[in-house]
C-alpha cells in the first residue's frame, strides 16, 4: 500500500498495524496482554483448587466469589506463610503427603485475596 509522506507520518503517529490481508488495527504495544501474561493451564488448576475448596466443613457449598465479601489482610498474610512453608518443604525435601500444586494454589489464593483487599481500599 503506497502512502504519501503526510499519510505515512499520520499512520506512524497512530501506530497502526496492517495485516497481510489488508486489514488494519491500532498498535497493541501499550495494551495489557492477558493472553501472554497468564497461563490457561495454571488458571484451570487454580479454578479446580478453588472449586474443591468451596465445600465448607458443614458440607454446604459457598459461592465462588465468597472471598470477595472481605477477609482481613492479616488472615491472608498468616495463611500465605503457612502455605509458603508447605511449598518450600515440598520443594526442598520432596516430603510425602505434601502436594506442591495444592500449596501453590493456596499461596495464589492468599496473594490474590490480599491484593484484592489492598486494591479495594484504594478505591
Residues 73-105: tens digit of each pLDDT: 999 999 999 999 999 999 999 888 889 999 999
Residue 32 predicted with pLDDT over 70: yes
74 and 98 co-located in one domain: yes
86 and 117 in a single domain? The answer is: yes
Co-location of 94 and 74 in the same domain: yes
Q: Is 70 left (phi over 0), alpha (psi -120 to 50) or beta?
A: left
Domain that holds residue 112: 33-122
Both 94 and 42 in one domain: the answer is yes
Cell numbers 479495594 correspond to what residue? 120
* Cα separation, 11 vs 27, whole angstroms: 11
Q: What pLDDT is stored for residue 12 in this prediction?
A: 64
Half-sphere exposure of 104 (CA within 13 A, CB side): 11
Closest CA to 84 of 61, 111, 66, 107: 107
Spatial neighbors of 15 by CB under 8 A, at least 6 apart, are 26, 27, 29
Residue 19 shares a structural domain with residue 65: no
What is the reported pLDDT for 97?
80
- Whether the model clears a pTM of 0.85, i.e. scores above it, the answer is no
Looking at the structure of the chain, the number of domains it has is 2
Amino acid at each position: 500500500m503506497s502512502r504519501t509522506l503526510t499519510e505515512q507520518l499520520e499512520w506512524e503517529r497512530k501506530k497502526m498495524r496492517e495485516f497481510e490481508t489488508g486489514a488494519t488495527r491500532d498498535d497493541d504495544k501499550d495494551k495489557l496482554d492477558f493472553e501472554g501474561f497468564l497461563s490457561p493451564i495454571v488458571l484451570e488448576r487454580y479454578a479446580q483448587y478453588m472449586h474443591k475448596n468451596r465445600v465448607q466443613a458443614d458440607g454446604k457449598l459457598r459461592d465462588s466469589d465468597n472471598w470477595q465479601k472481605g477477609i482481613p489482610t492479616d488472615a491472608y498474610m498468616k495463611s500465605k506463610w503457612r502455605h509458603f512453608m508447605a511449598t518450600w518443604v515440598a520443594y526442598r525435601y520432596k516430603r510425602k503427603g505434601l502436594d506442591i500444586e495444592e500449596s501453590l494454589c493456596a499461596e495464589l489464593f492468599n496473594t490474590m485475596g490480599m491484593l484484592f483487599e489492598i486494591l479495594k481500599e484504594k478505591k
